[in-house]
Structure 1
Amino acid sequence: MRIAAIFLLLLPFGANAVVGRDDVPDLHYRMAAAEFPALVDLPGEGHGVLIADQWVVTAAHAVSWQKSLDVVVVGGTPRAVSRVLVHPAYRSVPQEVVESALRSGEWEAFFDLTAASDDIALIQLTEPVHDVEPARIYEGSALGETVRIMGRGATGVGSKGHHLHGPNRTDLRQGYNQITISEGRWIGYVFDRPPNAHALEATTGSGDSGGPILVRADDEWHVAGIAAWKRAQVEGLEIHPGKYGETSYGVRLSNYEDWISETIGKEED
């Protein structure tokens, strides 16, 4: 069995969002939007996180495919977008690399390009948000920490994974995992099979790009990362995302704290 690196939003067969354990009812994964108001919904699919009263952080690939981004939803209210600022070192994977991987089942070139890109963007809102408290960026490495993940994407269970073609916007769900990778651009976690798993073990996938990876600190949830891509299981030429054993990666925000601060400060001057 091989492993393929797959963007959570970029490819049509992505991976399912907030996929849970087989032995836990789906109802236990459901959540109300009011439980984390700083979650931002992008048009159609994808997420972001409000990190300042006029700023949202998201994955670059979650916004770069959109022809225009005029409105996002924060705290259940549509908010006008002033501009989208993509990290200057972000590079999308060329289509020919994707097509080659699909034909051959060999994904290492795709993986190398994915891992080397700075997949982060900032969205500036036209007006400050006064009715939602922004999330603070987690400053530690998060290695070994239990994290909370969430999203409205496709769903399923770990033994089966999910349908390759969505739908990629469903009801809001949340789950938990443990960070086992924290270095450079990325933090990551493995979707473990019961019984060696969190009671609400989960992973994210298609439709959840840009959504938060949260760590509990100072009695509140800080955002340590944003969902970006995963290494899904491949058998021959068949891809089986959302199954136990895959590793999910998020953009490690502490790695980009200087860029975020400088960009926000420059745009607000």
Structure 2
Amino acid sequence: MKSAHLLTALSLLSLNPTFGQDFMSKQSEVTDQLNQPSSIQMISGKSYDPPQANYYQRFVDRIPLHGARVLAESNGNNFVIPGLDQFEDPATFDATYPAISKNLAATVAEANVDFPVASEANVVWFQTNTHARLCWEVITTLADSGEPVSPTHMEAIVDGQTGDLLSQRQIDVNNYDPSDSTQAEWGIFPRIVVNNAMGISGGRAYGAAFDAVVSVGGGCTGTLIAPNVVLCARHCGAGPGSQIVFGDNLNGGGLVFRTVQSSFLPDGSGSLLDGGDVSILTLSSPVPASVAVPMRLIDQTNELEGMLCATVGYGLNGLGSSGHNFSSDGYRWGGENIIDRYGSPASGGGGSNIISTDFDNGSNNANSIGGSSSTPLQYEATTAGGDSGGPVLVQLGGEWVIAGVLSGGTTSTSTYGDISWWTGSAVYRNAIESRGGEFGIPAPGACCFANGSCVSVFNDECDSAGGAFEGAETTCAPSPCPPPSIGACCFGSQCSDLTPAGCANGGGFFVGLGSDCADNGCAPRACCLTSGDCVVLLPNTCSNVGGVSDAADCASSSCAPPPCPEDLNDNGLVDFADLLEVLGSWGACGGCEEDFDGNGLVEFNDLLNLLSKWGPC
């Protein structure tokens, strides 16, 4: 619920507009150093703005500075609170008037939205880093798409010289109100409520670890995906001038602030559940790693269902039994859930790029997604107002990575049974990567062990198993692993994986390099004798009788049949030709093949051996 951000206390002003102007003047003291005349003026709100509010705009040389408008709304206690746009002053200005016409600028803007009706274009100063230049600000009115909670206005910034689309955002943020009967009819509320057992302290402690999750514009949540890029939801309406806050407690110290320089909307009509509720925000300056390390994203979607996920945000918070009660403590809360569905949203119509979870408490009444488990996790949680744009995270290889951004949910108070919907981010990989996001998720690779074996696992799994990880996306075919340096060492039927020297020093029997105790290498097993017979013996006993250890049992062994030395010409027969060879070698014959009994003589016993094998051999 975007309007909730208007109640975030950035600072307090009197309802008297003069005090508002004084506040704006203090915010722009640096303008005294500029050549261009600068002024702060109270202006009228637009048709799409929240009602009953005061608006202040900074002008430079009578032209509005985009992103330097402050909205202030009564909070019911005779105070107003600035919201929406924050800004940093440009250092230089390029006053070259736009070379392209306002009609062409409107055409560019309308080509990048769905259901355009009419556009209004005006010249504004648009800031990039510390430089401002004249561009077209185009406000496009949209027709009703028929989709749930659809936008009515879009803002585009078009380069006055090149016609490039520099920034785009959805600006009718006041549309998202759970008290609106049309929205309640759809049951969609763009908005961390945790289970009662986890408690408030558990929710805060869980969320504190995620430094890359940030507050966006005072009423939404986002995630740092590059040092100067934040991923958010398009319905949050964040754009140039919106404030980004880093820190786990918005009411505490040590906060770090940035402003949005430009926003990009990859796709979608603006409806919460059309699968396009994603915005990519470029910040005015990068954030050092000491403040937050950007999170990576996952580009896989076919394995999301059933995965453990984490959800983190600054929104309204509370316990599942009572919901959030429209309260927020400023802390970043977090919790876990299970992804129950990816595709079309559970319990609602919409696109095919929606991730769904439900808020379980163990009862079937709260198990809102059919076919899913009603058993809650230890850190079971759901989302609430102000969490919009925040991430749904899945863990791969020990790293939390982003799978989507929060679009909405089915209840206005986030009690047990609430369904949360996230828009998947994988389909926007090209747009996200082109702006600095990284999809280099942990990938399995070859893991080598000392016995020469190779398996494909994730890095942390390889490390915990004592292997050597060869790198993500490496394979075991062909094996990159070095030759084995150890093997099974038998002490009777007991086994240890040792080097040959280590086995010998311990008085064991070394089965061979590459053999493995995990394969029960020292238990009695098939032993192939020189006669071709198979018997079950301990490996060392088998070796002592001249045999070779083979399979686990004789039924599955590969013991070769005994050789047929009497077939001297290897034609498969013991016949007259072999008899002639024996007679031709009669007498003393050291090591000749006709000496079948190996006594150094070809004699009568050898002749009898040959005759006993007469025929096929």
1:213 paired with 2:392, answer yes
Deviates further, 114-123 or 201-210: 114-123
Q: How does 1:31-50 map to 2 (within 5 A)?
A: 31=205, 35-50=209-224
Indicate the structure (1 or 2) with the bigger Cα radius of gyration: 2
Which residue in the other structure is 1:82 paired with?
261
Contact map agreement 1:17 1:203 (CA 8 A) in 2:
no
Unmatched 5+ residue regions in structure 1? 92-112, 233-239
1:243 maps to amino acid: T
Q: Following the alignment from structure 2 to structure 1, what is the Cα–Cα distance between the partners of residues 233 and 194?
A: 23
**1:20-78 C-alpha deviation (Å, 9 max, x unpaired):** 223432212112765111112113221111111221110001125x7x53431235311
Query: What displacement does 1:86 show?
Result: 2.3
2:353 maps to amino acid: R
1:124 maps to amino acid: T
1:11 paired with 2:177, answer yes
Q: Following the alignment from structure 1 to structure 2, what is the Cα–Cα distance between the partners of residues 169 and 46?
A: 14
Equivalent position to 1:171, from 331, 355, 361: 331
1:114 paired with 2:276, answer no
Contact map agreement 2:216 2:245 (CA 8 A) in 1:
yes
Per the normalisation by structure 1, the TM-score is: 0.74
Secondary structure of 2:294 counterpart: coil
Q: Following the alignment from structure 1 to structure 2, what is the Cα–Cα distance between the partners of residues 19 and 167?
A: 11
Secondary structure of 1:210 counterpart: coil
Q: Following the alignment from structure 1 to structure 2, what is the Cα–Cα distance between the partners of residues 160 and 202?
A: 13
Contact map agreement 1:45 1:168 (CA 8 A) in 2:
no
Change beyond 3 A, Cα 1:35–1:263: closer
Q: CA RMSD in A?
A: 2.9
Change beyond 3 A, Cα 1:89–1:190: same
Contact map agreement 1:45 1:169 (CA 8 A) in 2:
no
1:139 paired with 2:139, answer no
1:123 paired with 2:281, answer yes
Q: Following the alignment from structure 1 to structure 2, what is the Cα–Cα distance between the partners of residues 203 and 262?
A: 31
1:156 paired with 2:318, answer yes
Q: Following the alignment from structure 1 to structure 2, what is the Cα–Cα distance between the partners of residues 180 and 70?
A: 34
Unmatched 5+ residue regions in structure 2? 1-147, 151-172, 180-187, 248-254, 344-351, 364-374, 438-617
Which residue in the other structure is 1:28 paired with?
202
1:152 maps to amino acid: Y
Q: Following the alignment from structure 1 to structure 2, what is the Cα–Cα distance between the partners of residues 86 and 169?
A: 30
Contact map agreement 1:16 1:161 (CA 8 A) in 2:
no
Contact map agreement 1:15 1:242 (CA 8 A) in 2:
no
Q: Following the alignment from structure 1 to structure 2, what is the Cα–Cα distance between the partners of residues 23 and 81?
A: 38
Which residue in the other structure is 1:190 paired with?
358
Which residue in the other structure is 1:181 paired with?
341
Q: Following the alignment from structure 1 to structure 2, what is the Cα–Cα distance between the partners of residues 211 and 202?
A: 14
Q: Following the alignment from structure 2 to structure 1, what is the Cα–Cα distance between the partners of residues 395 and 300?
A: 11
Which residue in the other structure is 2:241 paired with?
69
Equivalent position to 2:408, from 229, 233, 236: 229
Which residue in the other structure is 2:451 paired with?
none
Secondary structure of 2:177 counterpart: coil
- Identity, % of aligned positions: 27
Which residue in the other structure is 1:254 paired with?
426
Number of aligned residues: 229
Contact map agreement 2:221 2:315 (CA 8 A) in 1:
no
**1:116-143 C-alpha deviation (Å, 9 max, x unpaired):** 2511101101222232321000222221
Per the normalisation by structure 2, the TM-score is: 0.34
Contact map agreement 1:6 1:231 (CA 8 A) in 2:
no
Contact map agreement 2:196 2:319 (CA 8 A) in 1:
yes
Q: Following the alignment from structure 1 to structure 2, what is the Cα–Cα distance between the partners of residues 174 and 41?
A: 14
Q: Following the alignment from structure 1 to structure 2, what is the Cα–Cα distance between the partners of residues 127 and 225?
A: 24
Q: Following the alignment from structure 1 to structure 2, what is the Cα–Cα distance between the partners of residues 28 and 15?
A: 25
Which residue in the other structure is 1:243 paired with?
415
